[in-house]
Amino acid sequence: MKTPPYPLAALIGAALLLGGCASAPTAPTASNMTAKPATSTTERANASVRQAVAAFDKRDFDDATRGKLAALNDPLVKAADGRTVWDTRSFDFLKGDAPASANPSLWRMQQLNHAQGLFKVADGIYQIRGYDLANMTLVEGNTGWIVIDTLLTPEMARVGLKLAMDTLKSSKPVVAVIYTHSHVDHFGGVRGVVDEADVRSGKVKLIAPDAFMEYAIAENVLAGNAMSRRAQFMYGVGLPASDKGTLGTGLGLGLSSSVPGLIPPSQYIKKTGEEMTIDGVRIQFQMAKGSEAPSEFMFYFPDKKALCLSEVATKLMHNIYTIRGAQVRDALGWSKYINETMDLFPDAEVAFASHHWPTWGKDNIRGFLANQRDTYRFLHDRALHLANQGLVMDELGSDTFVPKALATDAASRGYYGTLSHNLRAVYNFYLGYYDGNPATLHRLPPADAARRYVAAMGGEAAVLATGRKAFADGDYRWVAEMVNHVVFANPANAEARALQADALEQLGYQAESAPWRNAYLLGAQELRVGPKPSVLSSSGPDTVRGMTNELLFDFIALRLDHTKTDGLKAAVQMRFTDVNETWALELSNSVLNNTKGRMLKNPDVTITLTRPAFLAMLLQGKKLPELVQAGMVKVEGNPQAFGALVANIVVFDPSFNIVTP
């Protein structure tokens, strides 16, 4: 039997796991590339917001701190290897009135998000807040604790749970975990609160909404590298936490810094109206698929009159489209779920969510839910109202009308989503990216168009002269659009990069949306010093282990260098003995098709192995020859056929350029 001479793990594993070192481009040189203060235009723009902010409900500050029991004594949360996962002091600068370099409305929101510690929500219900992007909620049962969401990373979840148990003088174990939905900041810390063996044995229940694993894995894989890079801009990864840097995320403070985990659920909820009792605690479920996440539910504790809203209703306008990149969400369906919630659980006396602080009182809850419902319904109806009158996506992005009652409700403000990109999202949901004008049907690529625009405007010096005047006039949006052409036509033009950075910076200082602020400011930083090596990854070992074989093969297929595989043919039979699956991998026309159950008549090579052996190659660096020698893999036929395939797998650059070509 022949064994392939190539290291399969190096070829496939490196391509599967997001990482690798991307070299940053040479930093530009200019006379002044440091962060600048707010201009007088920005000062006036932010000052104009103060009156609106002063009218917001002061009760928010009481509610955000209500029931606080304790906080972490050690400001640094560290991983086992000594790395800092979280520093509780990072956002301590969020005090007093907003500086000129911050939108006062966003500053207020982040002051509210800065409330850190363990909080009592109701009898037997507690929350860990302010120590990550999301919340972790604990519900006391007869013999143990039910954990609702587990923060982003195991280290934070472990520390949060310990803080609660120490404060509450409880020695009860965790008996159940509930994942509210399929976003990583709500399940990534699960290994910090339970052991997977206890879930597998049934000792600990792990409950999730229908199709949770499919979406928790798939969203982070097929477009994972692009999403991770874009998430750096959305969350301000690499920006300093300061009055001229990131203020946080709007949805919470920031991202804890470690590798998220994932334990598959042991039980799924599939329809509204399902009930279960966990350790003596009754729970009633409402499905909310395709609202804020493709797999999501809300639920009610009837004996406690407590309602968990998951991330369907939070203290802000959420994203119909998230600028990190994801499938556009259904704004109309989202509003209808909230409307249904109002009828299903009218007796709720406290409503809490996976982010922000709770709402207490039946009337307050109903008013909050009504405005949240109306926010998403308005976004939907307004976008289509304008689109049906012929307005196109970019015109929708500049619409400013908001119903008065929603504009004065801080919980409907665009701290995370925005009116601008959400209206465009609804347009895209129904009509796609094309605006119907044939002139935009086949635009030139950005760099090509940029060179032509610059030439038509009289050259780089002429564009920059116009750009400097526009900057002096405070017309920063126009500067950003115009000077971007010079940057893309000639990324080595340090003066253009500096002016573009200055314009983006002022737009960031004015932004009410935390993701917009982060994106503008990180864009300015990268124009000044270039991108830093990526520290975000959309997938880790648990994600890869959770992938189905089909998704693994799909992931390999999209990483093929199609120009190099053009004309190549390969037929590979894969047999997984432990799960009794046979797969046909067929390379033709530069695509790798995978078909479960297909038996190839004359395969080039047949590889017989177990799924753990396959994962050992992908995750542990095991080489195929040593697995063959160990009797874990059997290879029949010509292994070079498979070698030719995997040799053309591309390792994506996790720090690819965004603000430059």
pLDDT level of residue 227 (50, 70, 90 thresholds)? very high
What the block records as the tokens of 131 is 């120590």
Check residue 20 and give its pLDDT.
Answer: 33
Q: How far is CA 273 from the centre of its chain?
A: 29
Please check whether residue 310 is in contact with residue 233, taking contact to mean a CB–CB distance below 8 angstroms.
no
CATH of domain 8-17+540-646: 3.30.1050.10
Averaged pLDDT, 609-617: 91
Report how far residue 602's alpha carbon sits from residue 584's, in angstroms, rounded to the nearest whole number. Answer: 11
pLDDT level of residue 3 (50, 70, 90 thresholds)? very low
pLDDT level of residue 13 (50, 70, 90 thresholds)? very low
Check residue 611 and give its pLDDT.
Answer: 94
Sign of the CA dihedral with 243 first, then 245, 250, and 255 last: negative
Report how far residue 156's alpha carbon sits from residue 414's, in angstroms, rounded to the nearest whole number. Answer: 28
**Residue 150 pLDDT greater than 60, yes or no:** yes
DSSP 434: -
Averaged pLDDT, 375-390: 98
For 359, the enclosing helix (H) or strand (E) is strand 359-360
In our burial notation (b when 16+ CB lie closer than 10 A, e otherwise), range 186-201 reads: bbbbbbbbbebebbee
- Backbone φ and ψ for 556, nearest 5 degrees, come out as -65, -40
Three-class DSSP category at 286: strand
Q: Single out the residue of 533, 532, 621, 618 nearest to residue 21, CA to CA.
A: 533
Distances in whole angstroms, Cα of residue 440 to Cα of each of 384, 391, 611, 642? 21, 15, 48, 42
Check residue 414 and give its pLDDT.
Answer: 98
**Residue 30 pLDDT greater than 80, yes or no:** no
Q: Which residues contact 392 (CB under 8 A, 6 or more apart)?
A: 427, 435, 436, 437
Report how far residue 348's alpha carbon sits from residue 363's, in angstroms, rounded to the nearest whole number. Answer: 10
Please check whether residue 497 is in contact with residue 523, taking contact to mean a CB–CB distance below 8 angstroms.
no
Check residue 291 and give its pLDDT.
Answer: 97
Averaged pLDDT, 118-135: 98
- Which one has a higher pLDDT value, 34 or 189? 189
pLDDT level of residue 661 (50, 70, 90 thresholds)? very high
HEC per residue, 229-267: HHHHHHHCCCCCECCCCECCCCCCCCCCCCCCCCCCCCE
Check residue 18 and give its pLDDT.
Answer: 30
Q: Single out the residue of 169, 8, 108, 16 nearest to residue 541, CA to CA.
A: 16
Distances in whole angstroms, Cα of residue 18 to Cα of each of 12, 151, 230, 544? 11, 21, 14, 10
Distances in whole angstroms, Cα of residue 193 to Cα of each of 177, 181, 205, 216? 9, 18, 12, 19
What the block records as the tokens of 255 is 């991202």
Mean pLDDT of the chain: 93
**Residue 143 pLDDT greater than 90, yes or no:** yes
Q: Single out the residue of 322, 324, 660 nearest to residue 501, CA to CA.
A: 660
Using a pLDDT cut of 90, give the percent of the chain over it. 86
pLDDT level of residue 8 (50, 70, 90 thresholds)? very low
Check residue 639 and give its pLDDT.
Answer: 84
Q: DSSP letter string over 314-344?
A: -SS---SS-TT--PPP-HHHHHHHHHHHHHH
DSSP alpha helix (H) spans, 345-361: none
Domain 23-48+443-532, CATH homologous superfamily name and number: Alkyl sulfatase, dimerisation domain (1.25.40.880)
Check residue 624 and give its pLDDT.
Answer: 78
Report how far residue 514's alpha carbon sits from residue 103's, in angstroms, rounded to the nearest whole number. Answer: 10
- Give pLDDT tens digits for 338-369: 999 999 999 999 999 999 999 999 999 999 99
**Residue 23 pLDDT greater than 60, yes or no:** no
Averaged pLDDT, 70-90: 97
Amino acid sitting at position 114? H
- Give pLDDT tens digits for 243-274: 999 999 999 999 999 999 999 999 999 999 99
Report how far residue 566's alpha carbon sits from residue 564's, in angstroms, rounded to the nearest whole number. Answer: 6
Check residue 536 and give its pLDDT.
Answer: 66
- Give pLDDT tens digits for 445-491: 999 999 999 999 999 999 999 999 999 999 999 999 999 999 999 99
Q: How far is CA 172 from the centre of its chain?
A: 33
Strands 174-178 and 205-209 turn out to be parallel
Check residue 27 and give its pLDDT.
Answer: 37
Please check whether residue 129 is in contact with residue 121, taking contact to mean a CB–CB distance below 8 angstroms.
no
pTM of the model as a whole = 0.94
Q: Right CATH number for 49-381 from 3.40.50.920, 3.30.930.10, 1.10.10.10, 3.60.15.30?
A: 3.60.15.30
- Backbone φ and ψ for 520, nearest 5 degrees, come out as -60, -45
- Give pLDDT tens digits for 480-531: 999 999 999 999 999 999 999 999 999 999 999 999 999 999 999 999 999 9
- Give pLDDT tens digits for 601-610: 999 999 999 9
Check residue 538 and give its pLDDT.
Answer: 56
pLDDT level of residue 11 (50, 70, 90 thresholds)? very low
- The domains of the chain are located at 8-17+540-646, 23-48+443-532, 49-381
Check residue 21 and give its pLDDT.
Answer: 32
User: CA-based angle 369:371:375, to the nearest 5?
Assistant: 115
Q: How many residues does the chain have?
A: 661
User: CA-based angle 631:609:605, to the nearest 5?
Assistant: 100
What the block records as the tokens of 43 is 């000062």
pLDDT level of residue 32 (50, 70, 90 thresholds)? low
Please check whether residue 344 is in contact with residue 297, taking contact to mean a CB–CB distance below 8 angstroms.
no
Averaged pLDDT, 96-121: 98
Distances in whole angstroms, Cα of residue 62 to Cα of each of 124, 247, 407, 408, 553? 21, 21, 21, 18, 52
Report how far residue 251's alpha carbon sits from residue 133's, in angstroms, rounded to the nearest whole number. Answer: 7
Q: Which residues contact 455 (CB under 8 A, 6 or more apart)?
A: none
Edge-to-edge strand ranges of the sheet holding 117-122: 68-70, 117-122, 125-129, 136-140, 145-148, 174-178, 205-209, 267-269
Q: Single out the residue of 604, 565, 572, 575 nearest to residue 586, CA to CA.
A: 572
CB atoms within 10 A of CB 44: 13
